[in-house]
Each structure stands twice: as C-alpha cells, then as structure tokens.
Amino acid sequence: MSGFAFDVNIVIDALAGHEQARNEIRRAFAFGTRAWVSRIVWIEVLSKGAPDELRGAERLLSGFAIDEVDAEIAERAASLRRDRPRLRLPNSVILASALVRGRVLVTRNTKDFPAEMPGVRIPYTL
C-alpha cells in the first residue's frame, strides 16, 4: 500500500474534535507517507458548515494531498457500481480512488466498506 486515503466521516470527525479521528490522521503522517482524500471527500467536507467552520476545514484539508477523479478512477468507480448497484456514486469514487492508487481507505462506514474488505481500515465506530 502507498499511503492512506481518508473517507469523509473521518475528516468530519476530526473537525468535530473526535480524538480517535485526529489520532488516525496523525498515525498516517507518522508512517512517513502523505495522507490523501478524494476530490469527492474535499467537496463533501467543504459543502457543510458556517464560514468560520469552513476556515478550519480548509486548514485541515490543506494538509492532505488530493486524488483527482481521472479516467482510471472513473472507470473503476463505474465498475464498482455495476458490481454493487446500491453503492452510491460518491462512495464508489472514494473507494475507486483508494484502490486505483493502492492506498488503505480509512473509514468508519462499514455499510459500504466492510472491515473485511482488503485495503479498508475501520479504526473506530461511534
């Protein structure tokens, strides 16, 4: 694996002050790799909150590298949705981004990303 990709719920938890989420992000940096988010995660995080909250979100997100949605990720996301029709489009792009780039997806969404799925890390539940 080449680093860690974070799902929106972990980033939002970190912004809300959940220490488990903050520790998970610190853990990724401690491995000496970049922490990544899909452009979809970036959009979801910045689409919520008051202006002062958005400044904090922008500061946090500035520490992450962004996986842009390119043709390879789009094709993988489409394939994932064909295989799992109930998988929502944003989640298919988030998962495809991690899979295509060889990253561990850090999430607490066990409905769409089961813990037993290779390349998925569920560090905590709320």
Residue 64 lies in a domain: yes
The owner of tokens 């962004």 is: 66
Print the SS3 string covering the chain: CCCEEECHHHHHHHHCCCHHHHHHHHHHHHCCCCEEEEHHHHHHHHCCCCHHHHHHHHHHHCCCEEECCCHHHHHHHHHHHHHCCCCCHHHHHHHHHHHHHCCEEECCCCCCCCCCCCCEECCCCC
Residue 76 lies in a domain: no
Residue 79 lies in a domain: no
Residue 35 lies in a domain: yes
pLDDT given for residue 82 in this prediction: 97
The pLDDT of 5-15, averaged and rounded, is 97
pLDDT in tens, 43-91: 999 998 888 889 999 999 999 999 999 999 999 999 999 999 999 999 9
Residue 9 lies in a domain: yes
Residue 96 lies in a domain: no
pLDDT-derived band of residue 11, with 50, 70 and 90 as boundaries? very high
The pLDDT of 12-20, averaged and rounded, is 96
Residue 17 lies in a domain: yes
Q: How far apart are CA 58 and CA 53, in angstroms?
A: 9
pLDDT given for residue 1 in this prediction: 58
pTM: 0.94
Number of domains the chain is built from: 1
Range of the domain at 16: 4-68+103-121
Residue 86 lies in a domain: no
